[in-house]
Amino acid sequence: MTVVVGRPLVVPVRVTDDPREFAGGPHLAGVSGVARVEWGLDLKGVGKPADWQPTINLGDGTYEVRVETAKLPLGDRFPLFIRAVDRAGLENTPEPVWLETAPMVAKNTISGRVMLEGLGEAGVSVWLDGPGDRKTATSKAGGVFEFVDVEPGDYSLQASGPVRNRAYRSEAVKVAVQSPPAPAASVTLQLK
- Give the domain 2-102 fold: Immunoglobulin-like (2.60.40)
The CATH T-level fold of domain 108-190 is Immunoglobulin-like (2.60.40)
- DSSP assignment of 115-143 equals EETTEE-SS-EEEEESSSS-EEEE--GGG
What average pLDDT does this structure show over 13-23?
A: 74
2-102 and 108-190 agree in CATH topology: yes
Per domain, the residue ranges of the chain are 2-102, 108-190
- Rounded to two decimals, what is the model's pTM? 0.55
Helices and strands, counts by H and E, the chain: 0, 17
Q: What is the pLDDT of residues 61-103, one digit of tens each?
A: 899 999 999 889 888 899 999 999 998 899 999 989 999 998 8
